[in-house]
Every structure is written in structure tokens, then in C-alpha cells.
Amino acid sequence: MAEIFVTFWPLFVSSLLFIVLLVKFLVYKKNGSNTTEKCKLPPGGRGWPIVGDSFSWYNAVASSHPPSFVEKQVERFGKIFSCSLFGKRAVVSADPMFNRFVMQNEGKLFQSCYPKSFRDLVGKNGVITAQGEHQRKLHSIASNLMRLDKLNSQFLQDVQIVMRQIFTNLHDKQIILLQDVCRKIAINLMVNQLLGVSSESEVNEITQLFSDFVDGCLSAPINLPGFAYHTAMKARESIISKINSSIKIHRQQSSPAIGNGVLRRLLEEESLPDDAVADFIINLLFAGNETTAKTMLFAVYFLTQCPTAMKQLLDEQQSLRSQRSSIDGEMLQWKDYKAMPFTQCVIDETLRLAGIAIWLMREAKEDVQYEDYVIPKGCFIVPFLSAVHLNEKVYEDALTFNPWRWMIPENQEKRNWRSSPYFAPFGGGARFCPGAELARLQIAIFLHYFVTTYR
């Protein structure tokens, strides 16, 4: 019976997906004439019947060059075009100004839009999926907890302790997978900084649970044994149970019993119900784990392919190490972190070439007019950020790793990742990543210890 189930469940899922897309297609056809009369969408094709452009889209975003589908459509239709994705009409943009327009009008004209499996797993009280005033409140809390001025007093030393512990356990002539090391560092950092957990056994347990959790975020929402969504929901329950246990301990004891993590400060400084606190922490775990790990990994990969950049980075980091006084000890100080100009260029170039926020998913809250177009309410909007980051008309030799480009004076305005329409590795508007500065700190400290410890 089990063998039959394993053999036929992919067919079952495919059939179910086909039925869902068919229903959406029929509904779209029924309402299509009314929409066409009222709205003038950007030019574009319709793709295959029912599935539209979904297969071409997924093949591209899963490849080594995610903007490939978008680039082909841009050649045919322009920087803003329409297509059919996920059973609905969608407007996709490689236009930096329109992308910024969408991000700046979050909550007004547009709202975030995620698959059901993702919404269920990250929770309704998470800063990623919440909408309106609730989202603004949660985003403000997250931004306050990870402000730039708090990185020195509350994160800098903890980040280095975790880095040094992990690097100490790597032995001479040991063959390691860098991806595994980066993931281990990232999850250790997030668990330590969010929950105040430093026990290796606890961290390892949460790491496995979180791996199961992430695997289900974009899976089919089928809550039956054997499906990724079911396993992920069970992992979510276990993670929330651990968070609730920490909350209970803190509530019962007058002294901080859960370390110096964000959770402790969240309970002491903010007035959120416990279920909202749990969702909040899960959101930050999700947002800060894979993104930081992948950026660390790609930074080393690109540096390995560019010996000149590696040497300049190493010289900068070794200089900081040699200048460190006996009073400072082995730990980097805040002044050291602020004295890494080339390291920051390496981080920016890595984020431009291999940023994790490749594209965003939004939905029009009402009919939206932009230039000559009218985008109907309910239409998907996809600002494709990496299509701008990898555009040869925006960046010379855009596919080449060149950290020195960020030292050119005329690129300084473009480099402002808080406001530039041409460089948005952390998103923008009301959903700008509240942990952007913390992520950059973690990556810079990782590069320091990695290049000064190993060849």
C-alpha cells in the first residue's frame, strides 16, 4: 500500500494542480472581457492554455540566471510586460522606477501576496505576511530591535563568539562543504540572537526542525503524512512549543533566564500577545537564515574566482588584525567594522549578483494607473529586482564580479540600497528588510574570520 501511495502521489498532485488551474482559467475567461474593457495592461503574451507561462517562469528562476525569462519578454514587449502566472494575469517589471513605485505604495495600492503554504507556516502575526496597520506595527518593532546603534552594544560580540566557536571545530585537512558551514553559522547566529540559545544540542535540534520548516514553505498545501507541507507544519508546532517554553520561563522569573536574545527584549520592551511573539520570532528566523547563509557562500565563491579582489580583502582584514590593541583583545571592535570599505564593496557586489530577493510578489488592491497602463484590482505584480541588478544598461559588464565598481563616485547614489531604484537587495518601502544592517554585520565578520584563518 505504501509503495502504491509513493508511486501515485505525484500524479495525484499534478491532477489536483491541473484542476485548480482549470477552474481559475475558466473564471478568468468569464471575467476577462469586463477586465479588458476597463483596463489597459502592459503588452505581453498569454503562454500555454491554462498553465500560461508558469513552467517557463519556474525553469528560469530555478536556473543559474533567474532573469532569463524576463529578459526574453523585455526584448519583445518592453521593461514592463504582462503574462500568465499561477493561473492569473500578471504584470512583471524590469523597470527600476516602476519597481520602486510598487514598493513605495505597499499597503496603499499594492499588498504582499504569498502562497497558502507559506502563509500558514510563517503565521498571520508575522512581519512578512501581515497587512496594513498590523504589518506597520510589527515592522516598526523589528526595526527598533535591530537598529544600527544596537548592533555594537547587543550583537557585535555575540556574532564573533558564534563564528569563532564554529571555525574552531574545523580541523586541518578536513574536507568540508562550504554551503553546510555557512548554513550552520547562519542558523547558529539567528537562534543565538533571537532566542538567546547557545547550547549545541538545542541549536542542532532547532536546525533540523527549521530545515523541515523551510522545505514546506513553497510546497503544495496538502496536510497528509508524506507531504512536505505536513512535515513542515509539525516542525512549526515544535518550534513554537520551544519559543512558548522560553516565554513561560521568562514570565515566571524576575531575572532574564533566556539569555540576551531578541526574544527577551521583545518581551520586556513590547506588548505583544504570546502567539504573536512566536510568529514574530519564526518570521525573523526564516528571513535571516537562508539569506545570510547564501550571501556568505557566494561571497567566498566570487572571491575565489577573482584573486585580485581576494588579496585586497585579505590585506584589509589583516591590517585590522595587526592594528588591534592588547586592550581590545582578540575581538573586533565597532571601529574595526566601520573601517572595512573594500569588504563592504564585496558584500554589495555579491548582493547585486546573487541576492536572495530575486523578485517580489504583490497584488493590486484596486485598479492602478501607471503611465499609459491601467492594472486591474487583484492582478499579480512582480517587481523582478535581479533583472535590474544584472542589466548591462544599468551596470557595465553586469555579469562580472567587480567590487571596485562601488568605489566609482558616479555609482555612489546608485549604491544607496535604502533608496536607490537600481540596487534593492533588501527590498524597499514599508517592507524594507528590518535586519539589513545586522545581515551586513554578520557577513562582514564572517569574511574577516574566514579569510584571516584559512587559505
Annotated binding-site residues for heme read 433
Please state, in angstroms and rounded to a whole number, the distance separating the CA atoms of residues 121 and 283: 9
Annotated binding site: 433
Please state, in angstroms and rounded to a whole number, the distance separating the CA atoms of residues 337 and 350: 18
| ∠ Cα 54 55 58 (to 5°) | 85
Instruction: Report H helices in 355-453.
Output: 385-389, 412-415, 436-453
Give the residue from 67, 92, 59 showing the smallest Cα distance to 77.
92
| ∠ Cα 286 290 291 (to 5°) | 100
SS3 43: coil
Q: Are strands 380-383 and 362-364 parallel, antiparallel or unpaired?
A: antiparallel
Give the residue from 295, 439, 426, 278 showing the smallest Cα distance to 360.
426
Q: What type of residue sits at position 329? A: G
Instruction: Report H helices in 196-340.
Output: 200-215, 228-252, 262-269, 274-305, 307-323, 334-337
Judge whether 274 and 244 are in contact, CB under 8 Å. Answer: yes
SS3 4: helix
Please state, in angstroms and rounded to a whole number, the distance separating the CA atoms of residues 374 and 224: 42
Cell (9 digits) for 287: 528571513
- Give the per-residue SS3 of 99-163: HHHHHHCECCCEEECCCHHHHHHHCCCCCCCCCHHHHHHHHHHHHHHCCHHHHHHHCHHHHHHHH
* Cα pseudo-dihedral 13, 16, 18, 21, rounded to 10: -120
Query: Measured between alpha carbons, how far is residue 59 from residues 34, 39, 69, 453 in Å?
Result: 32, 30, 8, 39
- What does residue 419 show for φ and ψ, rounded to 5 degrees? -135, -10
CB contact burial 232-251 (16+ within 10 A = b; e otherwise)? bbbbbebbbebbeebbeebe
Ordered strands of the 380-383 beta sheet: 80-85, 88-93, 380-383, 362-364, 110-112
Note the Cα 122 to chain centre separation in Å. Answer: 13
